[in-house]
Amino acid sequence: MSTLTPAKLTTANVTPVTNPATDEKLYEVTHALPPEVDAAVARAKIAFKKWSGETALKRSRVMFRFLELLNRHREELAAVITREHGKTLDDARGEVQRGIEVVEFACGMPHLLKGEFSENVGTGVDGYSFRQPLGICAGITPFNFPAMIPLWMFPLSVACGNCFILKPSEVDPGASDLIHRLFMEAGAPENVLQVVNGGKEAVDAILANPDIAAVSFVGSTPVAQYVHQTASQNGKRVQALGGAKNHMVIMPDAPMDQVVEALMGAAYGSAGERCMAISVAVPVGDETADRLIAALQERVAKIKIGPGTEAGVEMGPLVSRKHRDKVCAYIEAGEREGAKLVVDGRKAPAASEKGYFLGGCLFDNVTPQMKIYQEEIFGPVLSVARAKDYAHACKLVDDHPFGNGVAIFTRDGGIARDFAQRIQTGMVGINVPIPVPMAYHSFGGWKRSLFGDVHMHGMEGIRFNTRLKAVTARWPETMQAEFTMPVSK
């Protein structure tokens, strides 16, 4: 179900979709009201009866055709992302690729759903288990990855035999609309995947509907916590991924040229609008910190800003004027609290008079008490928090309320191994600035970066989208009543 509408509509339940590089209004998206969400669920309930009964191989063939179409239309999909979100075309292409990799993983569902079998768990008794679909699942996705995160959610779910309701961000829903059309073209039955657009009303309708068995969410921590609490209270299985404040620890022995290159991409790529962006650099020792600031200062000031479609552009606009203003408010707060603003992105040459552009910002001498350290800014702002030694650096990471991702750059294998084992964070990079696992592993953080127990995609994704059934079977010629707990003899 697509609810994209022409720009001429002006009713209260629509959101304008804007090109953030030009401030041009592209179209308006109509918000689904609760009765429309419930109607979509009712259609999915009917579709589930047949879809769940199909063989895993038949569902896999739909996924293979979908994979082929995604590869054929990847440039079109990347262009939609850049037009509505603002990230550079190269970055959008990378997003599409990471989403496609989850579809590739989902194509192997006949193997992934294989159960376990134990012969003769008792005399003449066999035990086996298998996984079955939940029913109807739903996904609520953010603006920053309008293609990748939907592709992280629904392909595994539907390949497991579920039907899926996708509610994309109302800021940039065009990618989800195109993905839905490609999925239908791949031969998916009607209503196995449906897209409903909207804001909080649509979200609340999803959380309240009793026929939705599981909800996946990616977004800010306050909303993730709300989704988890509300959906859990309504008896649903929930994975709700929240905010992040990802640190990069830089040991004195780390090659500074590699560190700087890694930070430039990890902190300022996609204008910092990534849950895996590095937003805090933690150099160990003042000498390391001074070298880092000296190397970064010139590079950050020279980031090429402009529309994501222009060749050579390194950073596009932020997604909206409202979000740019929010990021600027954080910059002002950092200055008030005493952090040293080494590079002020607000003074960068404007690439467009109407676009939502902001240059890269670099703060030094940031302390844990500051707002810019504690909260997720979600913009092109890198804070440098100096650590006295390795133990102090680890304490900074572990004491932070978020625990999504972390990286360490060092030449010392012993330090790297100790760091990976001790650090209280869900995803760790060793000389890798953005440690996003591949599709056949699972993605998720700790602490206030994840609400729920199960991570996304990989085998965790299979477990989230199915439930285990265990069977104990015996085929005796005669049977006598047993009044004690059965045990293996």
Catalytic sites, residue numbers: 275
- Report d(CA 72, CA 42) in Å as an integer: 33
First-to-last C-alpha distance (Å) of the chain: 56
E-assigned strands of 253-395? 278-283, 340-343, 361-364, 381-384
- Residue 288: which H helix or E strand, with range? helix 286-301
Quick one: tokens of 206? Answer: 């999803």
- Residue 33 · residue 13 · CB < 8 Å: yes
- Residue 279 · residue 384 · CB < 8 Å: no
Burial of 234 (0-12, 13-18, 19+ CB in 10 A): middle
E-assigned strands of 115-195? 116-122, 125-133, 136-140, 163-167, 193-195
| Helix boundaries (H) for 73-220 | 74-85, 89-106, 109-112, 148-159, 174-185, 200-208
The single-letter code of the amino acid at 112 is L
- Residue 362 · residue 384 · CB < 8 Å: yes
Helix, coil or strand: residue 23: coil
- Residue 455 · residue 444 · CB < 8 Å: yes
Nearest in space to 211 (alpha carbons), one of 159, 177, 162, 157: 162
- Report d(CA 349, CA 359) in Å as an integer: 8
Listed in sequence order, the residues at least 6 apart from 485 whose beta carbon sits closer than 8 Å to its beta carbon are none
- Report d(CA 60, CA 77) in Å as an integer: 22
The single-letter code of the amino acid at 97 is Q
